[in-house]
């Protein structure tokens, strides 16, 4: 699908500097994909915020001890 967008001359010059004038579309396509992935990641992070309660965890009294116990409970762990 084609899409018409307007960009400042300076921005196009910077794109051309990195991609060359024949690589503009690929560069813009890649940049948009990266931006979309980032936006979706942030949406997932924000949606997950608050999913874990603020208290009553197994690790509350001694987080370091809880981590050590978790590590030793993993039979795949070496050492």
| CB count in 10 Å sphere of residue 48 | 9
CA distance 77 to 70: 10
pLDDT over threshold 90, residue 21: no
- Are the C-beta atoms of residues 41 and 49 closer than 8 Å to each other? no
Per-domain residue ranges of the chain? 1-52
Query: Model confidence at 75, in pLDDT bands (50, 70, 90)?
Result: confident
Residue 32 pLDDT greater than 80, yes or no:
yes
User: Which residues touch 17 (CB under 8 Å, ≥6 apart)?
Assistant: none
pLDDT for res 77: 75
d(CA 36, CA 42): 10
The gap from C-alpha 76 to its chain's centroid, in whole angstroms, comes to 28
């Amino acid at each position: 699908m084609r899409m018409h967008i307007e960009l400042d001359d300076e921005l196009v010059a910077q794109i051309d500097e990195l991609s060359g004038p024949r690589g503009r579309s690929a560069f813009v396509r890649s940049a948009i994909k990266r931006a979309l992935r980032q936006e979706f990641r942030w949406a997932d992070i924000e949606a997950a915020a608050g999913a874990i309660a603020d208290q009553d965890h197994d690790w509350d009294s001694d987080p370091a001890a809880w981590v050590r116990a978790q590590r030793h409970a993993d039979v795949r762990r070496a050492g």
